[in-house]
Amino acid sequence: MQLVTLSDGNLTLPANLVFAPVADRDLLSVVAPLGIEDLTAPLTPPCNVTLIRDGARTILFDCGAGPAFQASAGRLLDALSAEGLSPDDVTDLVFTHAHPDHLWGVLDDFDEPMFLNATHWIGREERDYWTAPDTVDTIGADRTAFAVGAARRLSAIEGALETFEDGQEILPGIAAHLTQGHTPGHVSFEVANGGQTAMIIGDAIANDHIALARPDWPAGSDQDQEIGAQTRRRLVERLADEDIIAVGFHLSNGGVGRVERTADGFRFNPQV
């Protein structure tokens, strides 16, 4: 089994999306040693799509933003091509959650399904949330476009879409773990192979600065900030204590590395 990450580009986000909930804390002293000295400057997190090949399957975890979200993202097709692959080679497309930078690349420029030969996988709770008729009216004005876009894309791939439950082994050696908070049905995936274990964490840990240095602090990008912090704490502790390889969608240097304990929190040590 081979695991690599492919770049879909990066996002450009207002800093207060992440930092606003913790503005009353000693934030700068925490993030300045990690390279963030201006708490008002836009953040430009990378977008790392995970690719696994095992000889029988070619599996993508999330599929990037596609052409309709941000100009700095939507680069997955070029990254696939650099690996000698096209969308038709993908056998399984597995979603951590249905936010635009993870799901919207499922359709091409003509709003047609991109991965025609792939089985598409999503957690049942995540699918049910984004396809529920009342989600668009209850999610909040700043996320309404997320709800509309997710429902439209999930409808477009409905015939190829399979759901799974928490704890289920969806493919050989790949087990789903519900990691709620960022979205109501966000899922991480434990990948076991040859005595090694990796965890594809999506946005359960959404950056490699404040989310690790202070995992208990609320994150503005989480839909449920309290549950998100509880999930994040459990996850970082397990990654560090069990020496599990972390594969993060928005972590730096390709997003593959180890989570290590520090004197007062955690840090990400990328494998570069």
Closest CA to 178 of 211, 151, 204: 204
Residue 25 banded pLDDT, cuts 50, 70, 90: confident
- Name the fold adopted by 2-270: Metallo-beta-lactamase; Chain A (3.60.15)
Q: Is the pLDDT of residue 272 over 70?
A: no
* DSSP code at position 38: -
Q: Is the pLDDT of residue 45 over 80?
A: yes
Residue 34 has a pLDDT of 86
Q: Within 10 A of 144 (CB to CB), how many other CB atoms are there?
A: 14
pLDDT digits (tens, 9 = 90+) for 121-178: 999 999 999 999 999 999 999 999 999 999 999 999 999 999 999 999 999 999 999 9
Q: What backbone torsions phi and psi does residue 4 show, to the nearest 5 degrees?
A: -140, 165
Q: Which stretches of the chain are DSSP H helices? A: 16-19, 27-31, 76-82, 100-103, 124-131, 135-138, 144-156, 210-213, 225-241
Question: Which residues lie below 8 Å from residue 205, measured CB to CB, with a gap of 6+?
Answer: 211, 212, 215, 232, 235, 236, 246, 248, 251, 259
Domain residue spans of the chain? 2-270
- What does the alpha-carbon distance between residue 169 and residue 163 come to, in Å, rounded to a whole number? 12
pLDDT digits (tens, 9 = 90+) for 60-83: 999 999 998 999 999 999 999 999
Contact between residue 151 and residue 135 where contact means Cβ atoms under 8 Å apart: yes
Residue 187 has a pLDDT of 98
- What does the alpha-carbon distance between residue 218 and residue 230 come to, in Å, rounded to a whole number? 9
